[in-house]
Structure 1
Amino acid sequence: MLAAALEMIDRDSVARLSMRRLGQELGRDPMALYRHAANKAALLDGVAEIVLAQLTVDTTDPDWRHQLRIVARDFRKLAVAHPNMVPLLVTHPLATPLGLRPLGTLRPLEHILDLLTHADFDNADALHIYRALFGFLYGHILNELQEIVECPEEATDLLRLGLHRLPIAEFPLLRDLAPALAAYDGAAELERGLDILIAGLGKTMTPAVMRPRRERRP
């Protein structure tokens, strides 16, 4: 049921998903679906969980920087593969207290905290690193997936992006950036941002190397 709901969201949108349409898709009485999901909100929570279940964190990786890069790349891949799910993965959770969110959506957070505390960061610093990473990542995803081309048939980047509408005396730098904006490469921009973010975290967030290391759970 959740897989079919995800397919419908990918094909159409979250707004067009309903228990009635999902029942038709599955060839089932829509009322029978309520035995598995109390309402559409619960159904969407379940879909978010199966998407985020694909985001794995190797908490045994001794190089926390390397592992955070892998997590960031994988999250971007999920978002690009399921762009209609982005509101459920990025913006919707922010309106829900942590304790009320589906457990599956919290597992990446728990696993990243596990990774970082085993790298000798204290709990508060591990949370700060997580927030910095995903704050950057959410902004990147929203920026990458937004439509920036106004008139694709135009001959120049300035016209294609609609930047010719900006007064040249007030926005000369932004207008000059038209070729760079038109050549946007989401994967490359992600790597540049991660370089800056992780280098900064490495300098400002110092593991508590003086305290005894935690033993790994079997």
Structure 2
Amino acid sequence: MTEQAAAPRRTPLSRERVLHAAVALADDGGSESLSMRKLAQELGVVPMALYKHVANKEELLDGMVDVVVGEIDPPVRGADWKPAVRQRILSARRALLRHPWASQVIESRTTPTPAGLAYLNSMIGMFREGGLSVGLTHHVMHAMGSRILGFSQELYVGSPAVDPQVQEAMARELAGRFPYVAEIAMAAAHVEDSVVGSGCDDQFEFEFALDLLLDGIEALHRRGWTPVTARA
């Protein structure tokens, strides 16, 4: 008598499995297209099974942010604060570029996620352990803004991707009305799929601004800068 082959065991559903599946779906179609029903289909379960691990889509998005933040390299121990901060922020940028939907979701969160708080705490610690004062570090975090998490909201001055003849006519009109804007818009080399704007190299612009900030922070630190007491 031939024994019946045992059916393969299904991988148990867990919060980690749910979150990683959601991240993969968002990578394919964006966070807007993600739904609990679609996620359940991907995992081969009924939608109600998901609610044992995430209460709703907002909690799901929080968890997805934590997955992405968890991909950022840990701090480099024993290194000078400036190159260490730079390296870690560029690691954060690589993580955000792997998951293009993540920056928008991070900005939509009303409260920081646990992994997000841990990351910010460690970044603040890198400045403080590097010798920066509490006051300077406070202002540094404001100045760095979203760049500390690997992305930035840029001022758009580029030209839209349109027919070259139409673009040339638009450039002439722009130059007549707003000559300095036109000068900047036409100066950059063309790069496709830029989040800053057509004609801008995202990575170069990000690193340029990051280095500018870090150089300025270092200069203030060397000068022993302290915040000016607010006038009454």
- Give the alignment's TM-score, normalised by structure 1: 0.77
Match for 1:197: what amino acid? L
* CA-CA distance at 1:11 after TM superposition: 1.2
* C-alpha distance after superposition, 1:78-134 (max 9, x if no partner): 222211121112x223xx2xxx43211111111112212211223343233233223
- Asked which structure has the greater RCO (Cα within 8 Å, sep 6+), the reply is 1
Extract structure 1 runs of 4+ deviating beyond 6 A. Answer: none
Partner AA of 2:25 in structure 1: M
The CA RMSD over aligned residues, in Å, is 3.0
Partner of 1:214: none
The 8 Å contact of residues 59 and 115 in structure 1, kept in 2 or not, is answered as no
C-alpha change, 1:59 and 1:70, in structure 2 (3 Å) is closer
Would you say 1:173 and 2:189 are equivalent positions? no
Moved more, 63-72 or 22-31: 63-72
Counterpart position of 2:209: 193
What pairs up with 1:49-198 in 2 under 5 angstroms?
49-58=66-75, 60-89=77-106, 91-93=107-109, 96=110, 100-136=111-147, 141-143=152-154, 149-151=160-162, 154-155=163-164, 159=167, 163-164=170-171, 166-176=173-183, 177-180=185-188, 182=190, 183-198=199-214
Structure 2 unaligned blocks of 5 or more: 1-17, 191-198, 225-232
Percentage of identical aligned residues: 25
Aligned match of 2:4: none
CA distance in 2, matches of 1:181, 1:144: 17
Using a 3 Å threshold, how does the CA distance of structure 1 residues 196 and 77 change in structure 2: closer, same or farther? same
Conservation of the 8 A alpha-carbon contact between 2:82 and 2:214: yes
Q: Distance in 2 between matches of 1:65 and 1:120?
A: 11
Which residue number corresponds to residue 202 of structure 1? 218
Residues 27-79 of structure 1, C-alpha deviation per residue, up to 9 Å, x if partnerless? 11110000000000000000000100112342623311101111221122122
Q: Between Structure 1 and Structure 2, how many residues are aligned?
A: 198
| Structure 1: gaps (5+ residues) | 209-218
Decide whether aligned partners of structure 1 residues 139 and 106 sit closer, same or farther in structure 2, where only a CA change above 3 A counts: closer
CA distance in 1, matches of 2:74, 2:138: 15
Letter of the 1:159 partner, please give it.
Answer: Q
**TM-score between the two structures when normalised by the length of structure 2:** 0.73
- Larger Rg, first or second structure (1 or 2): 2
